[in-house]
């Protein structure tokens, strides 16, 4: 697991209580969202299960003995969802996908990469995008499959690419 540089807030006990004061709360949520994104990026994860998350180091600071409650995590994720940075996967809102970038941003990033590397009008498999040598230095390298498909679908909606199914493999054609 990659080393994470915890922000000062992480060792500040009030960080683990959702603040009632509006202005304070918005600052607090902002800091949390930043921290969650950084943490997931560093650990290459993109889903959070609220029921288990309370025990991960992200939400549980053993040193100062503070833990973010499940309701609080939900509050933060719902706030992130408003900005398109997270989305619940199940109806009971227990499992969440968190996007370090919004789906649009991901899509654009992939499209730019494709344009810059001459993949226009040609087909790539999703496996290539995620794990191919060509993308090793890209941010979307090793991106979660579900997130990748969603990003490409948002791109498809804009008419920039087309998703297609092979036998048991998925591919994408950029225009």
Residues in contact with another protein by the rule CB under 8 A = 8-9, 12-14, 16-17, 19-21, 23-24, 27-28, 31, 65-66
- The least distance separating another protein from the CB of residue 34, rounded to whole angstroms, comes to 12
C-beta of 46 vs 61, nearer to another protein: 61
d(CA 154, CA 157): 5
- Closest separation between CB of residue 55 and another protein, Å? 16
Residue whose CB is less far from another protein, 71 or 131: 71
- β-bridge pairing 95-98 and 86-88: antiparallel
Cβ-based neighbours of 84, under 8 Å, separated by 6 or more? 99, 102, 103, 104
- Cβ at position 115, least distance to another protein in Å: 38
CB of 15 to another protein, least distance (A): 8
Count the Cβ atoms, other than its own, within 10 Å of residue 73: 22
The residue (of 27 and 158) whose beta carbon lies closer to another protein is: 27
Choice between 21 and 91, CB closer to another protein? 21
The residue among 3 and 23 lying less far from another protein, judged by its C-beta, is: 23
DSSP class per residue in 100-147: SS-HHHHHHHHHHHHHHTT-BTSEEEHHHHHH-GGGTTSTTTT--HHH
Q: How far is the CB of 84 from another protein (least distance, A)?
A: 23
Beta bridge partners of 120: 174
Contact status, residue 6 vs residue 32, Cβ threshold 8 Å: no
Question: In 44-119, where does DSSP find H-type helix?
Answer: 50-53, 70-82, 103-116
């Amino acid at each position: 697991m990659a080393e994470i540089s915890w922000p000062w807030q992480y060792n500040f006990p009030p960080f683990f209580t959702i603040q009632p004061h509006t202005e304070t709360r918005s600052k607090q949520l902002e800091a949390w969202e930043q921290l969650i994104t950084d943490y997931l990026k560093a650990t290459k994860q993109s889903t959070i299960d609220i029921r288990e998350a309370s025990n991960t180091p992200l939400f549980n600071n053993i040193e100062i003995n503070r833990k973010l409650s499940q309701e609080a995590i939900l509050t933060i994720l719902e706030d992130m969802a408003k900005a398109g940075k997270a989305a619940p996967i199940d109806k009971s809102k227990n499992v969440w996908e968190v996007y370090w970038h919004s789906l649009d941003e991901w899509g654009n990033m992939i499209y730019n990469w494709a344009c810059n590397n001459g993949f226009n009008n040609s087909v790539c498999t999703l496996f290539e995008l995620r794990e191919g040598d060509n993308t090793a230095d890209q941010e979307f390298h090793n991106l979660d499959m579900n997130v990748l498909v969603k990003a490409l679908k948002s791109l498809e909606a804009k008419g920039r690419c087309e998703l297609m199914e092979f036998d048991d493999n998925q591919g994408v054609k950029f225009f």
